[in-house]
Chain A
C-alpha cells in the first residue's frame, strides 16, 4: 500500500473517531448552543475533512498511475 493511501486511511479513521465522539455528545447536548456549535463549526468540518480525504485519494491514484506509466 502506498504511503499516501495509508495517510488517507489514517485520516479517515481519525475522522470517524471524532464523528463518533460528536454523535455521542450531540445525543445529550441538544440546546441552542449545541445547534449553534453544529452550524458554525461542526458543519464545516463535516464538509471539509471528507473533501480533503478525497483529494488525498485522488492524488494517490494519480501518483500511483504515474509511477506505473513512467517506471522502468
Chain B
C-alpha cells in the first residue's frame, strides 16, 4: 500500500465511522417517530371503530323501543351501515396489524443493527484507524526522494542520505523543496540531553504539533505538494484559527526558517543535530521512526 493510499484510507475510515454514528442516531430517531405515528394511526382507527359501535348500539336501542314498521326499517338501515363500517374498520385493522407485524420484525433487526452492530463496527473502525495511524507513524520516514532531493544548497547531499532514510517501501514523499524524511536511527540521539528543557514551546504543545503534522499537514501535502504556508494560512483564516493555534505555524516549524537541520561528514554513520533537538526528542517519544528535515553531508 502506498503512503498516499494509506493516508486516504485512514481519512475514509474515520469518515465512515462518523457516517455510521450519524446513520445510527438518525435511524433510532426515525424508528421512534414511526412508533408514535403508528400509535396515533391505530388510535384514530380504534376511535372510529368505537364511534360506529356506539352508533350501532344506539340504533339497536332505538329499534327495541320502536313499534313503527317504517321507522324500524329506517333504523335497520342505520344499524346495517354501522355494522358495515365496523366490518370495514376491523378488516383494515387486521391488515395494518399484519403489516405492522412484518415491520416490527424488521424494526427489531434494524434496532439490533444500530444498537449492537453499529457500535461494534464503529469500534472496529476506530481500532483500524489507530492501527493504520500507528503503521503510518512507523512508515512515515521510509520515503525516498530520489528525484527531488538530489542536492542541497551549501553542503552537498549525498545519495547515501537516501539510502539511510529509505527502505524502499514508499516513494511518494510530498515534502517541500529539499526536505526529506530522515530515520531517527541515523541521528546522533546522544546529542539530546535526558533533561532537555522545553522553554519556548511546552512538551505537550510540541507533541500536539507533531501529531498535527502527521494528521493534517502531511495528508494535505499528499493531496497537492504545491501547497505552502500561504495555503495553510488561508486554511487557518477560514477556520478562524489564530497563528499559534493554526496549521501555518506547524508547517513553518518544519518547513520554514527554523526547520530541523542535520549534518554529517561524508561517510560518517550518523547525523549531528544542528537544529531541532526538541522536535526530534518528541518524535522519538511518539514512536516515530523518521522526521522531516534538511540533511546535508559535507566534505571535511
* Chain B positions 1-22 with a Cβ under 8 Å from a chain A Cβ: 1, 5, 8-9, 12-13, 15-16, 19-20, 22
A residues less than 8 Å from B96 (CB atoms): 59, 62-63, 66
> Shortest Cβ distance from A54 into chain B, in angstroms?
8
Known pairs A18-B20, A66-B95; A24 contacts B88 (CB<8 A): no
Q: Is the pair B89, A70 in contact by a Cβ cutoff of 8 Å? A: yes
Q: Is the pair B110, A49 in contact by a Cβ cutoff of 8 Å? A: yes
B residues less than 8 Å from A58 (CB atoms): 99, 102-103
Q: Write the A4-26 contact mask toward B (1 if CB under 8 angstroms, else 0).
A: 10010011001101100110110
Q: Is the pair B16, A10 in contact by a Cβ cutoff of 8 Å? A: no
CB of B225 within 8 Å of the partner chain: no
Known pairs A11-B30, A14-B26, A41-B121; A33 contacts B128 (CB<8 A): yes
Q: Write the B85-106 contact mask toward A (1 if CB under 8 angstroms, else 0).
A: 1001100110110011011001
* A36 and B185 alpha carbons, distance in the complex (Å): 37
A residues less than 8 Å from B41 (CB atoms): 63, 67
B residues less than 8 Å from A1 (CB atoms): none
Q: Is the pair B103, A69 in contact by a Cβ cutoff of 8 Å? A: no
* A58 and B89 alpha carbons, distance in the complex (Å): 18
CB of B117 within 8 Å of the partner chain: yes
B residues less than 8 Å from A44 (CB atoms): 113, 117
Known pairs A33-B128, A52-B109; A59 contacts B100 (CB<8 A): yes
Q: Is the pair A70, B99 in contact by a Cβ cutoff of 8 Å? A: no
How many inter-chain residue pairs (CB < 8 Å) link A and B? 107
B residues less than 8 Å from A49 (CB atoms): 110, 113
Known pairs A11-B27, A41-B117, A44-B113; A18 contacts B89 (CB<8 A): no
Known pairs A21-B19, A24-B12, A41-B121; A48 contacts B92 (CB<8 A): no
* A28 and B30 alpha carbons, distance in the complex (Å): 31
Q: Is the pair B34, A29 in contact by a Cβ cutoff of 8 Å? A: no
Q: Is the pair A21, B99 in contact by a Cβ cutoff of 8 Å? A: no
* A21 and B24 alpha carbons, distance in the complex (Å): 14
Q: Is the pair B16, A22 in contact by a Cβ cutoff of 8 Å? A: yes
B residues less than 8 Å from A70 (CB atoms): 45, 48, 85, 88-89, 92
Q: Is the pair A55, B99 in contact by a Cβ cutoff of 8 Å? A: yes
B residues less than 8 Å from A10 (CB atoms): 26, 30
Q: Is the pair A45, B26 in contact by a Cβ cutoff of 8 Å? A: no
Instruction: Name the contact of B15 in the complex, choosing from A24, A63, A67, A69 (C-beta under 8 A).
Output: A24
Cβ-closest chain A residue relative to B95: A62
Q: List 15 A-B contacts (CB under 8 A).
A: A10-B30, A22-B19, A25-B16, A27-B12, A28-B8, A28-B9, A29-B13, A37-B121, A41-B120, A41-B124, A45-B113, A45-B117, A48-B113, A58-B99, A70-B85
A→B interface (CB under 8 Å): 3-4, 7, 10-11, 14-15, 17-18, 21-22, 24-25, 27-29, 31, 33, 37, 41, 44-45, 48-49, 51-52, 55-56, 58-59, 62-63, 65-67, 69-70
B→A interface (CB under 8 Å): 1, 5, 8-9, 12-13, 15-16, 19-20, 22-23, 26-27, 30, 33-34, 37-38, 41, 45, 48, 85, 88-89, 92-93, 95-96, 99-100, 102-103, 106-107, 109-110, 113, 117, 120-121, 124, 128
